[in-house]
Structure 1
Amino acid sequence: MPTPSPARRTFRSSVAALGAAGLMALAPAPAAYGEENTPDLAVGGIAPVSGLRPGDGIDVTATVANKGTVTAEKVWVAYSVTRGLDFAQMPSNCQVQHVRPYDEMPERWTAVCAFEQAVEPGAVYTTDRPLRVTALDRALNDELRLRVESADPGADENGSDPVAGAAPPVKLVATDAGGVGSARIVDVPVTTVNTADYQVTGAALRGSVGDTVTMTVKFTNAGPAWVWPREGDEAVRVVITPPPGTSVVKRGTFCRADDGAYVCGMRSLYEGSGETYTFRLRIDKRVPDAKGSIALSTEARPFDPDKANDQADITLDVSGGGSSGSAGGSNGSGDSGGSVGGSTNASDGGSSSTVTGGTVTSGTTSGGNLAESGSPVLPAAGVAAAAVAMGATMLLVQRRRRAQLPN
């Protein structure tokens, strides 16, 4: 059911408060005006669903009760499903919207059905035929929400333009059914038997001591299911350990340092989505067979039976030997701190490598600046020439000063 965003709710609350203050200034509000003059509606009619398979469907029959003392002259029943579910044929008295995610609510489809029928106090009504909901290929942990209103809730401002259904209209009919409950909104979990393959991709790095290289590693939900963590579920994390002999100049987005490794999150667990983590590493020294890793955290994921791709290597091939003289061991200074723009050149004219998506690209560099200090590196011949020129200049200045001294 459409829910206003926090900003919209705040605005409406502020307007309501100002309006109330104005009424109080003019005259006291009638004592009889209150909730007792509003229909007290409740909705129900469906229990939690489990064991579905992609392509299966469920029939949703909404039940509406008026537990108050005032007749609802007209009612609206809203059906909302998360993105693993979809509606089949839609009645012509229902308006359908696709609503993008907001306020920690996932992407969903909402159908608001208007009933031009009065719902009397104490009466219970049910829809004369069910609304069909199907499980898509991406279904796993989804939710169906039912909501009833005595006023038109309107379209969700975060959704697409509402579209009316084409099937014959649905109606409410009186029933003796019980168990409606007392809630105006009911959330029902819908679970489908499905899998989602979480996987990580490593990298192969190459460079010389003193080089700064780019390390790009990835997390992917290869599907077929999307994953919407339910309350109490542990969040999946990606743990990245850079190869030994390197220090982090710039860490990846959504990553924090943790005891020599980096723990990273992700923005989406939709099927086919992923996260790319780009680090800048300085090669401080050559460590034989240097190898780091990217791995998924160890919380239980029963929907992900393939564990073979939960870990991948980050290899480092260092040409030459020795040490760059850097203190090393840095954990980076954030997403922007410690950044080195472009390819960094080595002081010994070695090769500088960049890795993107686990593939190595390399190029040869010479001269340039030191990766960390920014100090210029001059050839030995150039240093000697500069020293000779400076000595000659100093000698000329001394001779001029002697010529200007009084006898």
Structure 2
Amino acid sequence: MLNTSTRRLLAGLGVVGALVATTAIPASAAPADVEINLYFPDVTVAADTAGKVESPVMSASEPVVLREATMRYDFSDLAGKVNVTEDDDFGYCTKPEPGVLLCTDPFEIGLDEWGLAGLFQVVIAATDGTDDATGKLKVTFSAAGVDPLTWESTVRVGEGVDLAGATDTVKVSARPGEALSLPLTVRNPGTTTVKGSTALFDVDYELRADEKYSNCTYEGDELRFCHFDQELAPGTTYRASVDFVLGKDTYAPGDVYTYTNWMTSAEYEDFAAYLESRGISPGKPGTGPELTLAVDDRARAPQADTDPDNNWSSYEVAVTGTNGTDLAAIGDKLTGAAGDKVTATVGFRNNGPATLNHIRSDSPVTHLRVGVPQGTTVIGAPEWCVPIKGEEFGEPGEAGGSNYHCYASTLSIAGEEETYEFTLRVDKVVANAKGPVEVNVPCQCDGGFYDDLKPANDTAAILVNATGGGGGGGGEDGDGGTLPITGAQTSLIAGVGGLLLAVGVGGFVLARRRRTRFVA
């Protein structure tokens, strides 16, 4: 059976989509109007270290396979200051001239709108004795049938420092709706004073900011960053306390997770440039008091972390009590003459009281099955739905099926619904033709929800050309629902922590390698 579609990467690289440099691929090389997108992050490396492993981030406006791909790194502007060398894990690079590294990929590269990092990895390192240097790195991508695409990044060499998070996972417990505080810990295990730092928060949806501090930024109730100007002395540990409220719609019993990652002020500037290129806001400052640390206005040279592997802290909140969820199927009622095209809007509603959150497992919260009414043919299906062909599944969005399996998104918020549109052609008018719509169906694949509070409303129907008063509807009210549509098409929710992994900020790169076109 089919595992969750690889398009469903809503965390990590799943949020890497349309970037800012684009070029069209000729129709002879790929489908018309496909755009290839390239980004390479700004980088701050520490002097007298082995440097950082970095790679471009690439995406395409629709799935495409590229061949004979090359990435040219021109670091001549950094001559005598920075070296760019091949990462041992790649193995296909040469140096055709001083200050240039040319890397080729002998395999096919599959790109889609979700993005891909980890290709053409290189090591960026300062030369011996270099510090406080700045220059440009010019990155050029080309492939068969593709016009060259160039991106220019800034590389800085800074003083080496070491930031470290808590060594053990912090574990607490709380009930839905209860306030709690999580300790924020940073230490300087190195020998050099850290002059300014930023904590990035990767917070689960269920944890909402209580106090909104003036030196932290927020997107709604989601805490994203906290900036500290205080100097951190060598060998010293610093702590603060961050206030949250566990949402009343938190599923219970269960677990909620949070992570923090520390970076220097210069490394945050690099990451902020990436967010800006994506059109993503780092959040708005809070209006409350400053979070514990005082401001230091002294001038600072760039700094870079010498050991980014120890920057992380993790938190686990055990959710106590009982707080379940009722998912109700949504059907539709249609009317059409022979030859007409009609649209069936089906799906499910989360009646609460709890939100279902599968973002960290990157799996759908539930699975749906949609039957096609007699006398109609599917001529347009959602990309999140695949036709059922015996023991196998067809392609995402494939028309012509008689039964479909649909994958829900990774987050279903209490009080909202998720819907899918099927375009049907009425081939023959059949009175009261019905096609079942079922939620919470079993699946030998990732995710799913099988502890529904009211299984009786897990089934609805698509009803075509009804002769009586019945409707397709769903749930207890029998109608198609009027709540906002928030389904797989729109709820691409991932924190900035996922973006951090995507571009390798802090020395960590999450790679997703695919050598062939996406096949569901």
TM over 0.5: yes
Who is 2:423 aligned against? 279
Matched residue SS, 2:310: coil
Which letter maps to 1:109?
L
Deviations 1:159-194 (A, max 9, x none): 26532443254049xxxxxxxx96212343445453
User: Which residue in 2 is equivalent to 1:219?
Assistant: 348
Deviation at 1:83, TM superposition (A): 2.9
User: Which residue of the partner structure matches residue 11 of structure 1?
Assistant: 40
Give the match for residue 186 of structure 1.
313
Q: CA deviation at 1:22?
A: 2.2
How does 1:7-46 map onto structure 2 within 5 Å?
Answer: 7=19, 10-12=39-41, 20-24=75-79, 30-33=127-130, 37-44=159-166
Aligned counterparts, 1:204-243, within 5 A: 204-205=333-334, 214-229=343-358, 230-231=360-361, 233=363, 236-243=366-373
Contact 1:38-1:70 at 8 Å conserved across structures = yes
Q: Check 1:85–1:302 CA distance in 2 against 1; reply closer, same or farther (3 A cut).
A: farther
- Residue type matched to 2:453 in 1? P
* Corresponding residue for residue 412 of structure 2: 269
Q: Is the 8 A contact 2:462 2:472 kept in 1?
A: no
Cα offset, 1:76, TM superposition: 2.8
Q: Is 1:95 matched with 2:216?
A: yes
What amino acid is the match of 2:406? C
Aligned match of 2:387: 257
d(CA) in 2 for partners of 1:49 and 1:302?
27
Q: How far apart in 2 are the matches of 1:210 and 1:150? A: 64
| One-letter amino acid of the counterpart of residue 135, structure 1 | L
Task: State the shift of 1:240 in Å.
Answer: 0.6
Partners of 1:47 and 1:188 within 8 A in 2: yes
Task: Tell whether 2:249 aligns with 1:138.
Answer: yes
Describe the SS at the equivalent of 1:138.
coil
1:298 pairs with 2:442 = yes
Residue type matched to 1:186 in 2?
A: S
Gaps of 5+ in 2: 1-11, 21-37, 45-53, 55-71, 84-125, 132-156, 295-307, 390-401, 481-520
Quick one: distance in 2 between partners of 1:199 and 1:274? 10
Deviation at 1:304, TM superposition (A): 3.3
Aligned-residue offset at 1:248 = 0.9
Deviations 1:369-404 (A, max 9, x none): xxxxxxxxxxxxxxxxxxxxxxxxxxxxxxxxxxxx
Q: How far apart are the structure 2 equivalents of 1:88 and 1:278?
A: 42
The AA in structure 2 aligned to 1:278 is F
Identity %: 18
Indicate conservation of the 8 Å contact 1:95/1:165, yes or no. no
What is the DSSP-based 3-state SS (H/G/I as helix, E as strand, rest coil) of the residue aligned with 1:200? strand
Residues 280-359 of structure 1: pairs in structure 2 closer than 5 A: 280-284=424-428, 286=430, 290-296=433-439, 297-298=441-442, 300-301=448-449, 304-316=452-464
Aligned match of 1:76 = 198
User: Are residues 138 and 25 of structure 1, via their aligned partners in 2, closer, same or farther at CA, if it must alter by over 3 Å?
Assistant: same
Cα gap change, 1:27 to 1:43, in 2 (>3 Å): closer
Mark the runs of 5 or more structure 1 residues left unpaired by the alignment: 100-106, 173-180, 320-353, 361-407
Asked if the contact 1:219–1:276 (Cα under 8 Å) also holds between the matched residues in 2, the reply is: no
TM-score (norm 1): 0.60
Q: Could you tell me how far 1:133 is from its partner in structure 2? A: 1.3
Q: Give the Cα–Cα distance (whole angstroms) in 2 for the partners of residues 200 and 24 of structure 1.
A: 63
Whether the 8 Å CA contact 1:197–1:305 is kept in 2: the answer is: yes
Q: How has the CA–CA distance of structure 1 residues 5 and 22 changed in structure 2, closer, same or farther, with 3 Å as cutoff?
A: same
- For these two proteins, the number of residue pairs brought into alignment is 304
Alignment deviations for residues 53-76 of structure 1 (CA, whole Å, 9 cap, x no partner):
222122211222223333323333
Task: Say which of 166, 170, 175 aligns to 2:292.
Answer: 170
| Aligned match of 1:126 | 238
User: What is the Cα deviation at residue 261 of structure 1?
Assistant: 0.4
AA aligned to 1:265 is: Y
Distance 2:42 2:127 in 1: 21
SS state at 2:181 partner: strand
Q: Which residue of 2 aligns with 1:398?
A: none
Aligned partner letter, 2:351: A
Please point out which of 172, 179, 199 is paired with 2:328: 199
Paired residue secondary structure (1:54): coil
Could you say which structure has the larger radius of gyration? 1
- The structure where strand makes up a greater share of residues is 2
- In structure 2, the residue matched to 1:151 is 265
State whether residues 61 and 126 of structure 1, in contact with CA within 8 Å, keep that contact through their aligned partners in structure 2: no
Paired residues of 2:213 and 2:285 also in contact (CA < 8 A): no
Residue 318 and residue 202 in structure 1: after superposition, are their counterparts in 2 closer, same or farther (change >3 A)?
A: closer
SS at match of 2:177: coil
Paired residue secondary structure (1:83): coil
**What is the distance in 2 between the residues matched to 1:303 and 1:53?**
19
Query: Are 2:195 and 2:229, in contact at CA under 8 Å, matched by a contact in 1?
Result: no
Instruction: Tell me the TM-score normalized by structure 2.
Output: 0.48
Query: How far does the alpha carbon of each residue in 1:205-225 deviate from its partner, in whole angstroms, 9 at most, with x for none?
Result: 566777665533232223343
The amino acid across from 2:245 in the alignment is: T
CA distance in 2, matches of 1:163, 1:223: 31
Residues 211 and 244 in structure 2, CA contact (< 8 A), matched pair in contact too: no
Identify if the C-alpha distance between structure 1 residues 116 and 22 changes in structure 2 by more than 3 Å, giving closer, same or farther: same
Q: Are the aligned partners of 1:253 and 1:277 in contact in 2 as well (CA < 8 Å)?
A: yes
Alpha-carbon distance in structure 2 between the residues aligned to 1:89 and 1:27: 43
Q: What's the C-alpha RMSD, in Å, of the aligned pairs?
A: 4.3
The 3 A distance-change label for structure 1 pair 264 and 111 is: same
**Which range moves more in the overlay, 296-305 or 63-72?**
296-305
Match of 1:248 in 2: 377
> Helix, strand or coil: the match of 1:41?
coil
Amino acid at match of 1:280: L
Distance 1:147 1:162 in 2: 19
Tell me: higher relative CO, structure 1 or 2? Use CA pairs within 8 A at least 6 residues apart.
2
